[in-house]
Structure 1
Amino acid sequence: MYLAAVLREAGEEVEILDADLLELSIDETAKKACRKNPSIVGVTATTPTIKNALKVVSAVRAIDSGVVTVVGGVHPTFMPEETLLSCPDLDLVVIGEGEQTLLELTQTLKGFQWDGRDYSAAKEFAERVSKVNGIAYRDPSNPNLIRFTPPRAFIQDLDKIPLPARDLVPFEHYKLLGKDASIGAIITSRGCPYGCTYCSSSRIGGLKFRARSVDNVLLEIQELYYKYRLRHIEIIDDIFTLNQKRAFEFAKKLKSLKLDVNWVASSRVNTISRDLLRALFSAGLTILYYGVESGSQRILNLMRKGVTVEQIRTAFRITREEGVKSCGSFILGYPGETLDEMKQTIKFACELDADYAQFCVLTPYPGTPVYDELKSKGLLLTEDWDRYTTLEPVIKYEVFGYTAKQVKKMLNYAYRYFYLRPRYVIKHLRFLPLILGVLMRSYVIPKLGLDRLMGSSRSKISPSLSS
């Protein structure tokens, strides 16, 4: 929606198709994307959606041989060459932040349309796109040779990006989990100064924390409130509380607006304080997400997490005492972790008395330091990206003294152990439908293999953008 807003502000005609929300098949997505004869069709892709994203690209090309096809997102940013070589129907990859890159591509390709795939057309295409920073494309004389333009500089002033083009999507269908209420997601910052080994945020967004001004963020919240009548907001920054002075300012100004909204955000345990929690709670904060990852200090150190077990305990205690609900995320199966340390993490999650917990299997996504390490040592079980879902082990765990099957069993055990404790069930009885939904998606469906069965008739894909 941010990309679409930039294009539209520049006078381009643009549409957004959220195929996942609409539960469209690959072919249905391609037909809808091509119905108005777009000049460019772009698809956003993460690692577990990249294969389906490329299937959409091929389906689009089968319908309209003249359209320019583009893929962007986290996965192609770190795997641009592989992405292009695995799909002959893909014309180029956008690397990194896409707002300015996509705008320049749209402008430089104005009037261009593939008329056959001969050398002349490929040469003209390459000459045009070679002037745009932040992309990868094919050499016109050798389609197996991938060319790269200079890297795109990060956008320093995020306030210059227009508010998302939410009117281009069926906004009323974005629902709050477990409730018949719409929710709006916003991004208020980019970049992360931390270098956790399992995360690519600092690589894709840079080590420098870049934030929108508080006033700019509040403009978007007021638009969500008055124009779209939303009362539930999710701030999807990696670390909303990284700049505590800014977080205090946000809380003060949001509270002064007297909007009947509640919102959720994410924090590190070492970027939160009792005073800040109190301020955020008074401004409508209901749930704070913490990336705990492990209950073992040894594993936290291996992850380069930069926090201590005691800091984690303190953060959850003061969060609870200040009336804010907490959700902890935990990783099982980190390379070198023992089965006993995994059990320690599961028990630690219960000890923290978090309101919600999310467990996942360590998934070494391209772009993360742990992926680079495992790849270099030949310890990746598979590079079938469909399996990189955080629910299925993709590492050769035998070298660490156990099996992938044991890690999967540990994940199932974690959800049962946390959510089916009598004390927890009694305390959260009114949220039982929500809890059961979490268990179904995270435990029952994967355990029975129903996720593959349910996905066999309709392939889930990422939203596509056509201009």
Structure 2
Amino acid sequence: MAGQLDVCLVNSPLRAASTIIPQSLLWLAGWVEAKGYSAEIVDIKRSALTELNDKKREDVFRETVERTVAYNARVVGLTCCTGEFSTITKLAREIRNRCDAKIIVGGVHTSVSPDDYFTIKDSPFDAVVIGEGEEILTEILEYERKGESDWQTISGLVIRKNGEIIHTRSRVFCDNLDQMPLPVYHKLNMDHYLKPQLFLLRYVFCSGVHIFTSQGCPYQCTFCANRLRKVRYRELDDVIEEIIFLKKKYDIDFFYIQDDTFTIKPKRVIEFCQRLKALNLGIIWGIEGRVNQFPDEVFNALVEAGCIQMDFGVESGSQKMLDRMKKGIAVEDIKRIFKLCRSNHIRTFANFLLNTPGETEEDVQKTVELSEEIKASAYAHAVTIPYPGTAIYEEYVKPPLTIEEYDLLLLAQQRYRIVDGRFRIAAHSLDIERLALKLNLRFTFFQRLLFFSFNPKYLKVLLHSSRKPQYLYMATAYSFRNIIYYTKALAKRSKSIIAHYFRKTQLN
């Protein structure tokens, strides 16, 4: 059909309140358009301030279906994490019942357990993409335009033919990202993503976006499902072009480099910092880094170029736990980098994990002590969840989860709870849910009430921001929401203490 849309890429309805830009969909859409195909993105959003109850979630789901069907695309591309499996399958069935589009699915879970999508009854999927989808999607669109329906010759797919699940040839992915076009930001609701939020600068309001300069991670942390061990890099020219575009087009105040391993190449980091500093764009920024990858020349370059936030996966205060998780870092590395950041007025975020493999009460105590010592600007004490595809899942979750049980992962992630006995991988008998609540209240309560930083670079950007009214509105709204949240949390804790007292009294 002349003028028919080639592909409609659909974000998960469960991510409606997320303020993290779906970069994978942007890259896919930009890639296929650069190859001469048409693409649109369905990404239904709701305010991050909105509490999404069941009715509101259903409204988002229905709107996602309606918008997708209205595009009348040849191909519909869905993305799926393990905990979203049932929702994405339901979404695919609804779309299948309403239009004739071919439905493909990609994402983390498709690379971990691709056959799941065809072992379910009456599968609505036509193909499962393993790994990255840019070249695969381009070939699928080429086949569809030519009217060729047999995708068995396309590498990197799982399909079902005559009742048999077929894995096509493995695909060798390109070693670099030089050919990636500028992300097509105009296809998203950028008003939603550019509202001041707390998750770019960790509990401090900032308007901006997450970007990537590389993909992949060579490390082997046992709690991570990453399978792309080789790191591939974008040309710095392209990264700088994207930042300039974001500043000119959307007047961003901040950007966050979400690479797993941004600091792995010191010379590249220094060159990036020098070029960014020379532009004098009036932007502040942050990174995610490894604690043992900051020689003085790299650290100084970051500070001079306007980096004011560094996030670190600390995970544990116990060297034994760090080694068991194959983090490849030392406790002394952690102490050094946080001290260095404090002395240079760099904000820090420390992510700790509870319920680590074989964790003892002594290990927990070391985590608490390290949390106190490093004096981070912001903390998270999360409960480790063994996801399919990780080493800890293979070792501890037995029997493995059934497809019907994947929803447990989403529940665990949302509530920081051990929702299934198989998820408890610590050796101690502490109440992990209560421990996480206690530590998060202790280390983040006041940070979550402040919302703003006294860092001079941050204050300068805030003073010149075109979004000052939005900052004021969001700070006021979050203040009321946090008061309600912490009041409920403290009340819940008080009830638990009272109940424990009465049980103890009755026993005595």
TM bucket (normalised to shorter chain) is: 0.7 to 0.9
C-alpha change, 1:249 and 1:58, in structure 2 (3 Å) is: same
1:297-446 aligned at under 5 Å gives the runs 297-375=319-397, 377-378=398-399, 383-384=406-407, 385-389=409-413, 391-393=416-418, 394-396=420-422, 401-402=427-428, 406-420=431-445, 430=452
1:16-415 aligned at under 5 Å gives the runs 16-21=41-46, 25-64=60-99, 66-86=100-120, 88-110=123-145, 112=147, 125=149, 127=150, 129-139=151-161, 141-142=162-163, 145-174=164-193, 175-178=195-198, 182-201=207-226, 203=227, 205=228, 207-375=229-397, 377-378=398-399, 383-384=406-407, 385-389=409-413, 391-393=416-418, 394-396=420-422, 401-402=427-428, 406-415=431-440
8 Å CA contact 2:240–2:276 kept in 1: the answer is yes
Distance of 1:447 and 1:301 partners within structure 2:
38
Alpha-carbon deviations, 1:35-89, whole Å to 9, x = none? Answer: 021111111112222322222111111211x111111111121111113323611
Identity %: 30
The answer for unaligned runs of 5 or more in structure 2 is 1-25, 48-56, 199-203, 454-474, 493-508
Alpha-carbon deviations, 1:161-205, whole Å to 9, x = none? Answer: 11111111111210342477542221110121111111122x1x2
C-alpha change, 1:80 and 1:235, in structure 2 (3 Å) is: same
C-alpha change, 1:357 and 1:78, in structure 2 (3 Å) is: same
8 Å CA contact 2:359–2:427 kept in 1: the answer is no
AA at the equivalent of 1:359: H
Secondary structure at the aligned position of 2:256 is classed as: strand
What is the number of equivalent residue pairs in this alignment?
423
AA at the equivalent of 2:112: F
Asked whether 1:14 is paired with 2:39, we answer yes
Distance of 1:183 and 1:311 partners within structure 2:
30
| Counterpart for residue 115 of structure 1 | none
Distance of 2:105 and 2:36 partners within structure 1:
22
Alpha-carbon deviations, 1:221-246, whole Å to 9, x = none? Answer: 11111122222112111121111110
Secondary structure at the aligned position of 1:396 is classed as: helix
8 Å CA contact 1:189–1:210 kept in 2: the answer is yes
Distance of 1:137 and 1:16 partners within structure 2:
24
- Normalising by structure 1, we get a TM-score of 0.83
| Counterpart for residue 451 of structure 1 | none
C-alpha change, 1:425 and 1:28, in structure 2 (3 Å) is: closer
Task: Return the offset for 1:380.
Answer: 6.5
C-alpha change, 1:395 and 1:133, in structure 2 (3 Å) is: farther
- Name the stretch that deviates more: 84-93 or 51-60: 84-93
C-alpha change, 1:158 and 1:344, in structure 2 (3 Å) is: same
Secondary structure at the aligned position of 2:267 is classed as: helix
8 Å CA contact 1:16–1:169 kept in 2: the answer is yes
Distance of 1:443 and 1:412 partners within structure 2:
13
Q: Which gives a bigger RCO, structure 1 or 2 (Cα 8 Å, sep 6+)?
A: 1
Task: Return the offset for 1:443.
Answer: 11
AA at the equivalent of 1:412: L
C-alpha change, 1:281 and 1:268, in structure 2 (3 Å) is: same
8 Å CA contact 2:75–2:103 kept in 1: the answer is yes
Task: Return the offset for 1:21.
Answer: 4.8
8 Å CA contact 1:186–1:236 kept in 2: the answer is yes
C-alpha change, 1:233 and 1:446, in structure 2 (3 Å) is: farther
8 Å CA contact 1:274–1:318 kept in 2: the answer is no
C-alpha change, 1:130 and 1:309, in structure 2 (3 Å) is: same
Distance of 1:396 and 1:352 partners within structure 2:
32
C-alpha change, 1:132 and 1:229, in structure 2 (3 Å) is: same
Secondary structure at the aligned position of 2:300 is classed as: helix
- Name the stretch that deviates more: 17-26 or 356-365: 17-26
8 Å CA contact 1:332–1:359 kept in 2: the answer is yes
Alpha-carbon deviations, 1:110-161, whole Å to 9, x = none? Answer: 265xxxxxxxxxxx73x2x11211111112x11xx32111222222120101
C-alpha change, 1:379 and 1:147, in structure 2 (3 Å) is: closer
AA at the equivalent of 2:119: L
- Normalising by structure 2, we get a TM-score of 0.76
8 Å CA contact 2:256–2:286 kept in 1: the answer is yes
Distance of 1:436 and 1:395 partners within structure 2:
36
Aligned-residue CA RMSD in angstroms? Answer: 2.9
Distance of 2:45 and 2:117 partners within structure 1:
21
AA at the equivalent of 2:117: T
The answer for unaligned runs of 5 or more in structure 1 is 113-123, 449-467
C-alpha change, 1:246 and 1:439, in structure 2 (3 Å) is: farther
Distance of 2:138 and 2:487 partners within structure 1:
42
8 Å CA contact 2:359–2:428 kept in 1: the answer is no
Distance of 1:14 and 1:277 partners within structure 2:
41
8 Å CA contact 1:380–1:396 kept in 2: the answer is no
C-alpha change, 1:236 and 1:413, in structure 2 (3 Å) is: same
